[in-house]
Amino acid sequence: IMIGWWTAFPFWISFLICALGGILGVMYSIPLRRALVTNSDLPYPEGVACAEVLKVGSGGDKTNAAEVEHGRSGLLAVVWGSIVAAVFAIIVATQVFASDVAQTFRIGRRGAVSGYDFSLSFALLAIGHLCGLSVGIAMLIGACIGWGWLVPHYAALTGDLTTAAGALAQSTWSHKVRFIGAGAIGVSAIWTLLKLVKPVASGLAGAMAASRARKAGKADTLPITERDIPIGIVGLVTLLCMLPIGWVLGYFANTSGLGSHVTTLVIGGVFYVLLMSFFVSAVCGYMAGLIGSSNSPLSGIGILVVIGAALLLVFGVQPYVGPDATKALMAFALFTTAVIFNVAAIANNNLQDLKTGQLVDATPWKQQVALIIGVLAGAVVIPPVLNLVNQAYGFLGAPGADLRPNPLPAPQAGLISSLAQGVIAADIDWSLIRMGAYIGIAIIVLDAILARFTKHMRVPPLAVGLGIYLPTASTLMIVVGTIVGWFFDRGADRTRNPEGTKQLGVLLASGLIVGESTIGVVLSAIVVFSGVAAPLALVGAGYETAAKIIGGIAFAATAFVLYRWVLGMAAKRSA
């Protein structure tokens, strides 16, 4: 769509991409579950939040008055957290409160610009609480590198003194800094994958041991939380999925004018999907465990995927086709990347679900079957929904979008399609990605030094890369949340039941995530059905400054009151 190859989403091709990619994502999440969930200390903020809500909602067997009171307090924390987050999100939708507190500004007289954006999101605040201080510090370091150094530096190089500071900062970040962030993420991802080799191998060994126990008639001896879909079935389903994926790739190659090279494209494409999708699933699953699925920058890893696909086409196919096939090669690179994206996106989310299951003693294979059913249902719905959105609005940056009144922004799709075009047309700036790689290496060395000489302080390299790559609207409030969570835990340490009080803080954070996420779906539906960008707006653009001041004060005050209330409730309970 973004390069004009498609004008709509063909149902069956789109369905197969979503369904096959989704099933592969579920299959890959099975060995990754043992490596990244069972044998890992990653926080998985959304998975933990869902588990805490389920535990409180189910009640369970309470054997004494203290447990009953703890359950009641936990339920209150979840319910009030959900209500407050939902109400605040509704007020933001009316535009009485701003959605963020942001500012861009010039530095000096040479055109340098910088800025910040604190999203007034209780869900992001809560995710920060659940992530922990080291992740927050790492993301803050990344944001400072991006907006304290790189954005001002590259903006100053333009010497542009006439463009508005906000527009120049956004353009510099989009066209320069994000590529540097992608390079940092890429190096950090490779390092992370190397560290995951042993846990993944251990996970596969555990899955094979469980399979042998089943074959020996000892399935009943396996703990219920270790009963995955048998690894033999996982391998068989994975290989069977490669057949229709090969057919889809071949069909696309034939219909795009690359039929004379269809064998090379299909064989290379299938192997690329098989290997790269597992790599991306592992790294994105790690990032989802680190900062949550909602903030896991699949597009950051996707940059490396599309560059890899495009480079393979440049060296393996482009020398044997004419210049008129350039656009077809771009489309094929994006098509292959789309399959890998679907695999990684589903694995990314499934690991959160499996973390929830681990915490509530669910049976993994039942979850995995349910996830496959959900993938197939989603694959049926997604193509027509995308077509409706495309017909109603169009996507900013796609051919013909400027003729639409309100095209929807698609920055990630635009960035990745631009990369495919840049690599195949040989006009990409590799120096940016190379610089990001150097930054990533430096952070890896720093983290290793901290691991060697300190007990608790670490700087996760991927989190630093995320801080550079993601907009500050997605990172700074998480950083604030990690600080709030740290102070809350210090306050909890002064109570009679520190662990119980910290658990109430986790439940409050869980409620905040649930409340904002749920109302977000409702608000999105209202926007879609009304056809209006801000259907609940009560004030106009002239109220923007006041909305930032009032919204920022209200957000800070509400967060303070909520956490003080939870500490007070914990103190009364333990008195």
Q: Render pLDDT for 309-328 as a digit per residue (tens, 0 to 9).
A: 889 988 888 888 877 888 88
Judged against a pLDDT cut of 90, whether residue 439 lies above it is answered with yes
pLDDT at residue 71, as a whole number: 64
pLDDT at residue 152, as a whole number: 95
Judged against a pLDDT cut of 80, whether residue 469 lies above it is answered with yes
Residue 245 CB neighbour total at 10 angstroms: 24
Per the structure, the count of domains in the chain is 1
In this prediction, residue 63 has a pLDDT band, given cuts at 50, 70 and 90, of very low
Say if residues 117 and 467 touch (Cβ distance below 8 Å): no
Among 203, 189, 235, 194, smallest CA distance to 33 is for 203
Say if residues 489 and 505 touch (Cβ distance below 8 Å): yes
**Better pLDDT: 308 or 400:** 308
pLDDT at residue 293, as a whole number: 64
Strand-pair partners of 102:
117
What pLDDT, in 10s, does the model give residues 336-359? 988 998 888 888 788 888 888 888
Q: Where are the beta strands (DSSP E) in 39-99?
A: none
Judged against a pLDDT cut of 90, whether residue 161 lies above it is answered with no
**Better pLDDT: 457 or 547:** 547
Task: Indicate whether 569 belongs to any domain.
Answer: no
In this prediction, residue 28 has a pLDDT band, given cuts at 50, 70 and 90, of confident
Task: Indicate whether 341 belongs to any domain.
Answer: yes
Helix, strand, or coil (residue 394): coil
Task: Indicate whether 572 belongs to any domain.
Answer: no
What pLDDT, in 10s, does the model give residues 237-257? 999 999 999 999 999 888 888
What pLDDT, in 10s, does the model give residues 120-135? 999 999 989 988 888 8
Percent of the chain with pLDDT over 70: 88
Task: Indicate whether 49 belongs to any domain.
Answer: no
Task: Indicate whether 202 belongs to any domain.
Answer: yes
Name the pTM for this structure: 0.77
pLDDT at residue 231, as a whole number: 80
Task: Indicate whether 75 belongs to any domain.
Answer: no
Residue 245 exposure: Cα atoms within 13 Å on the Cβ side: 31
Task: Indicate whether 232 belongs to any domain.
Answer: yes
Judged against a pLDDT cut of 60, whether residue 64 lies above it is answered with no
Judged against a pLDDT cut of 60, whether residue 501 lies above it is answered with yes
Say if residues 495 and 501 touch (Cβ distance below 8 Å): yes
Average pLDDT over the chain, rounded to whole?
84
Amino acid identity of residue 420, one-letter, is: A
pLDDT at residue 57, as a whole number: 58
pLDDT at residue 67, as a whole number: 52
Judged against a pLDDT cut of 80, whether residue 199 lies above it is answered with no
Instruction: Say which DSSP state 21 is in.
Output: H
Containing structural domain, residue 19: 11-43+193-430
Task: Indicate whether 511 belongs to any domain.
Answer: no
Say if residues 287 and 475 touch (Cβ distance below 8 Å): no
